[in-house]
A and B are shown apart, each in its own frame.
Chain A
Amino acid sequence: MIRGPYVRPVGRYSWWLSQPRYIRYMLREVSAAFIGAYILMLIVGLLRLSQGPAAYESYLTAVLSSAGVAFGLITFVFAVYHSLTWFRVTPKAMPLRMRGKAVPPAIIVGAHWLGWAVASLLILLWVAV
Chain B
Amino acid sequence: MRETIHQLEVLRYDPETDTAPHFQTYAVTCQEDWVVLDAINYVKENLDRTLSYRWSCHMAVCGSCGMVVNGEPVLSCHAFVRDYPEKIRVEPLANFPIERDLVVAIDDFVEKLTSVKPYIISAEERPVESGENLQSPEQLAVFKQYADCINCLLCYSACPQYALNDSFIGPAALALAHRYNLDSRDEGRSARADVVASNPGIWECSFVGACSEVCPKDVDPAAAIQQTKIASTVDYFMRFLMPWRKQ
Contacts and interface: CB of A to CB of B under 8 A. Distances in A.
Tell me if chains A and B make direct contact, with any CB pair below 8 A. yes
Interface of A: 1-8, 10, 12, 15-16, 19, 21-22, 25, 29, 89, 91-95, 97, 100-102
* 9 pairs of A and B residues whose beta carbons are closest in the complex: A100-B138, A5-B97, A92-B223, A93-B226, A3-B15, A6-B98, A25-B208, A10-B163, A7-B97
Given A15-B163, A93-B226, A100-B136, 13 more contacts: A2-B15, A2-B16, A3-B15, A5-B99, A8-B98, A12-B164, A19-B71, A19-B210, A21-B213, A29-B206, A94-B230, A95-B223, A100-B141
Contact of A94 (B21, B164, B227): B227
Interface residues of B, number: 37
B222 interface: yes
B21 A6 contact: yes
B164 A10 contact: yes
Interface in B109-160: 136-138, 141-142, 160
B226 A15 contact: no
Contact of A92 (B18, B99, B222): B222
**B94, B141, B209, B213 pick with most chain A CB within 10 angstroms:** B209
A89 B205 CA distance: 14
Contacts of A10: 95, 163-164
B105 interface: yes
Given A6-B98, A7-B97, A8-B98, A95 B209 contact: no
B15 A16 contact: no
